[in-house]
Amino acid sequence: MTPARRGLPYGVFSRPGEPRRVGVRVGDQVLDLAAALGDEVFAAPVLNPFMALGRVAWREARERAAEAARTGDHLLPLDAVTLHLPIEVADYVDFYASLEHATNLGRILRPGEEPLKPNWRHLPVGYHGRSGTVVVSGTPIRRPCGQRPPSTPGGRPSFGPSLRLDLEAEVGFVVGTPTRLGERAGAFEDHVFGVTLVNDWSARDIQAWEYVPLGPFLGKSFATSVSPWITPLDALEGARVEGPPQEPEPPAYLRRAAPWGLDLALRVQINGETVAEPPYRDMYWTPDQMLAHLTVNGASVRTGDLFASGTVSGPRDPGSLVELTRNGAEPFKLADGAARTFLEDGDTVTLTATTRDGICLGEVSGTVVPAT
């Protein structure tokens, strides 16, 4: 049994001249679910109608898909299909849940100040990103243009292609069961359908100039890449761990009712070469806390909402180049001898993640193409 078979992640695929429909990955094949299970909900071009059915339906479908996969019918080779963005993204929220990452970024962006803002240990800091530019793995990433910081205080910004294009390795969570406006979310596993990988591409120069006081905007909104596969929570039972201790203890609505830390080993590759292996399991804020925070003010979540962890960084394995190179001050070398600070045109970034018991969460990949 291959790792991917045990994960049985969901995606959306098409064959030439045929409409998009839902599939389940089984090793290097995809199970055509509409054909295998005879259920119209899998003939949809996105996972949303299925995800809206709720947890009982998710479990039943997973059992039936596993059974169908064993028969060997309706399996197509992965290289004969095209994979698409698996969900219609409703709202996209990006958190900032890694203590290492927030500390590193604070030091870089606000030197001389306390790196963590006073709120950071009391709530999972987050912000809304752009849903309309969430793209599937493989989509080329065009280097964004924008305003870059003035070279002297009080000076004029320059305009042009970002000179500090970065990656951010993140884990994303996809909402299946919505909440009602004015009500808080219930248990994490009753709302969240599954997990994906996210590369939250970032133009550090554009971001540094624009982000005060209302947060990141064009430095992020040009593209966010996700894996074509959504791994259902049930596949990750064996990866669940307690999150790290939190001091001070967070307010009651953020207390963890169950362990929703996940022991995932991420890998960041540039042009096929591993540059970091950030450990997700040490993330300070866990995704159940993110969902509780998102809805504590009565804001509703919808089927297709995507919320991401923020950059996953460990002490020796940061999930972004701005950290790896200390904002460009310490270049690193790739195997071909080329020095890198930030991403060059033509660079391909690939993120993967695997649980300790060998379940692969797929990959998210993107190649930088020159600015127009």
* Total of residues contacting a second copy (CB under 8 A): 66
Binding pattern for the stretch 273-302 against a second copy, x by CB under 8 A and - elsewhere: --------------------xx-xxxxxxx
Of 252 and 257, the one with the shorter C-beta distance to a second copy is: 252
Query: Least Å distance between CB 216 and a second copy?
Result: 7
Of 218 and 353, the one with the shorter C-beta distance to a second copy is: 218
Long-range pairs, 250-258, Cβ under 8 A, ≥24: 250/121, 250/122, 250/123, 250/289, 251/122, 253/184, 253/292, 253/293, 253/296, 254/123, 254/124, 254/289, 254/292, 254/293, 256/286, 256/288, 256/289, 257/187, 257/288, 258/187, 258/188, 258/189, 258/288
Q: Which one of 74, 84, 101, 128 is the catalytic residue?
A: 101
Select the span of 113-121, 164-172, 262-270, 358-366 touching a second copy (CB under 8 A).
113-121
Of 112 and 213, the one with the shorter C-beta distance to a second copy is: 213
Of 3 and 215, the one with the shorter C-beta distance to a second copy is: 215
Run of H or E residues at 37: helix 33-37
Select the span of 5-13, 73-81, 110-118, 237-245 touching a second copy (CB under 8 A).
110-118
If DSSP states are collapsed to H, E and C, what string results for 95-107?
Answer: ECCCHHHHHHHHH
**Counting contacts by CB under 8 A, is residue 112 touching a second copy?**
no
**Counting contacts by CB under 8 A, is residue 117 touching a second copy?**
yes
DSSP 110-155: STTS-SS-TTTTTS--EEEE-GGGEEETT--EEPPEEEE--SSTT-
Number of H helices, E strands in the chain: 10, 26
Binding pattern for the stretch 193-232 against a second copy, x by CB under 8 A and - elsewhere: ----------x--x--xxxxxxxxxxx-xxx---------
Instruction: Give CA separation, 356 vs 3, 265, 287, 324, in Å.
Output: 11, 8, 19, 25
Instruction: Provide the sign of the torsion angle of the four alpha carbons 173, 179, 51, 47, taken in this order.
Output: negative
Select the residue interacting with a second copy from 7, 126, 243, 314 (CB under 8 A). Answer: 126
- 74 in active site: no
Q: Which residues contact 92 (CB under 8 A, 6 or more apart)?
A: 128, 129, 130, 131, 134, 224, 305, 306, 307, 308
**Counting contacts by CB under 8 A, is residue 91 touching a second copy?**
yes
Query: Least Å distance between CB 157 and a second copy?
Result: 5
- Interacting positions 303-362 with a second copy (CB under 8 A): 305
Q: Using CB under 8 A, list all residues that contact a second copy.
A: 90-91, 96, 106, 109-110, 117-119, 122-123, 125-133, 135, 142, 144-147, 150, 153-154, 156-157, 159, 181-183, 203, 206, 209-219, 221-223, 248, 251-253, 293-294, 296-302, 305, 372
Catalytic positions? 101
